[in-house]
Chain A
Amino acid sequence: MVDQNSCVALYLSQTEAEAAVRMLQQAEFDIKKISLIGKGDDHEEHPIGFYSTGKRVKLWAKKGAFWGGVWGLLFGAGLFWIPGVGPVLMAGPLVAVLVATLESAVVVGGLSALGAALYSIGIPKESIIRYETALNIEQYLVVVHGSLQEVERAYEVLSASESTDVAIHLS
């Protein structure tokens, strides 16, 4: 069960997003409460694919090295093709939320499956639409779940990062 409060930060580049995750890690945040979402390439120059080597899943794509590094840090990983959004790469507990949303066929008016997953963790529709638009233009979302105190602390850390927007969502 993912906490219903969250702190969401937006980044223009994968380097900035990765740095933010590392800042949270250095601030001793529970890594199980951090998620990262980014858009996969619609038109990869190279074939895109997953393969498994033992227990680790690897991504063979242009951004494979980045996501490989992130997946080494965070718990859970997945690539989803979401109508209206396209390929979405995700790491962290939000993967389980999205899978649960897909399995239970939750529909939230006007939102994609990703939007419905974000809605289920307490993010309002108005914000979700902006976040999805940001993902579509290759921006990255870092999401921290937790109690009010935890998300407030996450806000302090992420405010010091290179984010264009940090917000707290309380439900």
Chain B
Amino acid sequence: MTPESPFYADSLKCLQESTLFGELDRETLVDILSRCRRETWKQRRLLPLEETWQRFHILLSGRVRLSRSNPHSGRMITLFLHGPGDGFCLFSLLDGQPHDLMLETLDDVALLSIPMEETREWIAAHPAFNRALLPYIGQQMCVLANLAEDLALHDTETRLARLILRHMDDAESAHAEPRLINDLSNESLAEMIGSVRVVVNRQLQHWKQEGIVDAHRGYLAVEKLNALAQRAEQQLASPLAKTSMLQ
């Protein structure tokens, strides 16, 4: 992609606003753009990670989820939900191996991709990117740790409350939509907390009656953030657990 490209300015802006690339200087970002391949994937595209693991991907717009499923029971668990500015195929970047993950686009997505080998060379050549990458990997590990904790220690109500709170940006707002998950189906929400659609549906209806959330088909907003936070904390035994919830 050259600076004359009609997609250049938006791509650069997306990188500048991202956690992973936001601290890098313009020259480095321009170098990334010149090396990356621009791609678009249509909504609801399913890709086994075996097809994509040889490239590192940077999401420019839309959402991608990475999940695992049990082919016998059909049950699915969402491990990561990525939005603009996120990088994915991180595990393969670290260990050079394919992983048993299913990748699904929730929207039409635009992304940049670069071969893994070139990404590794690039990391070596740009210590600033390496410094940004390590905390980012740490964040992704926290996502997995939180999921494991939720599944092992908490009931569905707490898990759902914690999921929504993790996607809230503005803690002060009385009526706020959670990031990335505000228009997901109840089934998709259930797949993020290891539950099933009917249970999530029942819980949201219950909270709706209490005025904690505003939820209807494909829409979710939080009306009473403190009340939701209480539901998330009610089963947390230790201060350490409370801290991890906010990460």
Which chain A residues have a beta carbon within 8 Å of chain B's beta carbons?
10, 12, 122-127, 130-131, 133-134, 155, 159, 163-171
Contacts and interface: CB of A to CB of B under 8 A. Distances in A.
B2 interface: yes
A167 B40 CA distance: 8
A127 B10 CA distance: 12
A155 B37 CA distance: 9
B79 to A, nearest CB: 22
B1 A165 contact: yes
Contacts of B108: 124-126
B31 interface: no
11 contacts: A10-B6, A126-B110, A127-B40, A165-B6, A165-B38, A166-B38, A167-B7, A168-B37, A170-B40, A170-B45, A171-B42
B175 to A, nearest CB: 28
A125 B40 CA distance: 11
A149 B163 CA distance: 39
Interface string B94-113: 00000000000000101000
Contact of B39 (A130, A163, A165, A170): A170
Q: Give the bracket for the number of chain B residues in contact with chain A.
A: 10 to 19
Contact of B6 (A133, A169, A171): A133
Interface of B: 1-2, 4-8, 37-42, 45, 61, 108, 110
Contacts, number: 59
A142 to B, nearest CB: 14
A124 B38 contact: no
Given A124-B108, A124-B110, A130-B7, A168 B42 contact: no
A169 B39 contact: yes
Contacts of B40: 123-124, 126-127, 167-170
B63 to A, nearest CB: 14
B41 A10 contact: no
B4 A12 contact: yes
A9 to B, nearest CB: 10
A130 B37 contact: no
A162 B53 CA distance: 29
Contacts of B4: 12, 164-165
B41 A170 contact: yes
A168 B38 contact: yes
B38 A134 contact: no
Given A130-B6, A170-B45, 6 more contacts: A124-B108, A126-B61, A134-B6, A164-B1, A164-B5, A170-B42
A165 B42 contact: no
A127 B45 contact: no
Contacts of A127: 7, 40, 110
B235 to A, nearest CB: 43
Nearest to A151: B39
Nearest to A167: B38
